[in-house]
Amino acid sequence: EVQLMESGGGLVQPGGSLRLSCAASGYTFSTYEMNWVRQAPGKGLEWVSHISSASRTIYYADSVKGRFTISRDNADNSLFLQMNSLRVEDTAIYFCVRVSGSGRHIDYWGQGTLVTVSS
């Protein structure tokens, strides 16, 4: 069974940093692309970042470019999101998601971790 478990969320002041982690299990992590998707309280879904299976290709939403860094450790079945220079508008639930091996859609979602940026 595919499982994605996020951790690392919490309360941080504006301008601060936070590192999210996602532990993957139940499949061969190293062969799948991964993304982060976020959802602000009461709002819709916003795609944040993409990383290819071997980390060769990385993309970011304009809203986080230059502040967030996605990475992965295939030996440890883990996905990361380093978030720097956090803003109030980064407050959201952050979902770790797997991109399907047979297409470009998201086929599995973690339960999410809440990041609150507030003074």
CB nearer to another protein: give 13 or 55.
55
> Least distance from C-beta 110 to another protein, angstroms?
7
Structure tokens at 19: 């590192």
Q: Which of 2, 9, 46, 52 lies at the binding interface for another protein (CB under 8 A)?
A: 46
In angstroms, the CA 7 to CA 20 distance is 6
CB nearer to another protein: give 32 or 95.
95
Q: Which stretch binds another protein (CB under 8 A): 8-16, 44-52, 72-80, 82-90?
A: 44-52
> Least distance from C-beta 60 to another protein, angstroms?
8
Q: Say how many CA atoms lie within 13 Å of 44 toward its Cβ.
A: 2
Q: Are 99 and 106 in contact (CB under 8 A)?
A: yes
Where residue 101 falls (left for φ over 0; alpha for ψ -120 to 50; beta otherwise) is alpha
Alpha-helical (H) ranges within the chain are none
Binding site for another protein (CB under 8 A): 35, 44-47, 50, 59-62, 95, 100, 103-107, 109-112
